[in-house]
Amino acid sequence: MFARKFTVVTPIFNGSPWLELCIRSVHDQEGIEVEHLIQDGGSTDGTVENYSQDARVHFVSEPDQGMYDAINRGFRRAQGDIILHLNGDEQLLPGTLKRVAHFFDQNPLVEMCFAYALVLDTRGELLCYRKTLLPGRIHTCLSHLCTLTCATFYRRSALEEFGLYFDPSFRVLGDAELICRALEKRIRMKILPIYTSAFTITGYNLSNDARAVPERKRMAAEVSRFIRPLCPLVKVIHRLKRLLMGVYAERSLDYEVYTLESPSKRIHFHVNHPNYRWKNTIAAVQSSERR
């Protein structure tokens, strides 16, 4: 049951500028054994040439059916006890994997854990922080998934036993669908209340994809038609839970990440009054890029 080894799976397709930051953030994790699997979908931007022989990663380039299919391919190759899916525009914070390993060792019955994440702009500056609650099936189906994949860790044994692979018929909300299945199977989950990961809003993130609209309808259809009209109430209850659990409270934040301007050395950032609001982060990125 001990977390002896980690596997980080990174799906990529033409994301070379950001991939280096992701790789470095995994490679500099200390005190833990980790394999980093890069599942490339046939990039044409130099990713294959730059990383196919990189000793820091296990690189595979082959056609796939989209991001979730690519992740599944990586999951099936994984040898680690604990698995994480980390996109190319995401990165781990210093010391993350050692702390996650300790958490799983101290909680041997936990099969999946959700930690906190930071949302950054393209310069590495904080847009908002994302604390989380344990997800609920009805809220996830009717509203949104309150966790981020870059801060979600699985035991490989649970993934294999319960078939927790992504449904590749989803193009945007596959993570929400997977978590709903995990809830139905009563996977043992717990919150790890630390910041483990950083998610960069690059302007190309799936969260902004128009294909999410029909998939949200598909998710909502999984809930009884008698419950669907209660969606506003479900959202209010979720927000009250977040308030009571201190999700909206954070006095200050210090973090270190790699940036495009500093791809070989982490840069330290200090934020006196961090923001928790996700809304308008895209506008903030676009504004900063125009300056």
Helix (H) / strand (E) containing 84: strand 82-85
Confidence at 3, pLDDT banded by 50, 70, 90: low
Sorted by where each begins, the domain ranges of the chain are 5-290
Alpha-carbon gap, residue 262 to 267, rounded angstroms: 7
Confidence at 207, pLDDT banded by 50, 70, 90: low
The arithmetic mean of pLDDT across residues 129-135, rounded, is 95
Q: pLDDT at position 262, please?
A: 97
Q: What are the tens digits of pLDDT across the range 270-281?
A: 999 999 987 655
Q: What predicted TM-score, i.e. pTM, was given to this entire model?
A: 0.92
The arithmetic mean of pLDDT across residues 19-33, rounded, is 96
Closest CA to 152 of 172, 174, 171: 174
Task: Give the DSSP per-residue string, 213-265.
Answer: HHHHHHHHTTS-TTTGGGHHHHHHHHHHHHHHTTTT--S-EEEEE--SS-SSS
* Phi/psi at 80 (5° precision): -75, 160
The answer on pLDDT for 1 being more than 70 is: no
The arithmetic mean of pLDDT across residues 36-41, rounded, is 96
Q: pLDDT at position 80, please?
A: 96
Q: What would the CATH number be for the domain defined by 5-290?
A: 3.90.550.10
The b/e string for 135-151 (b: 16+ C-beta within 10 A; e otherwise) is bbebbbbbbbbbbbbbb
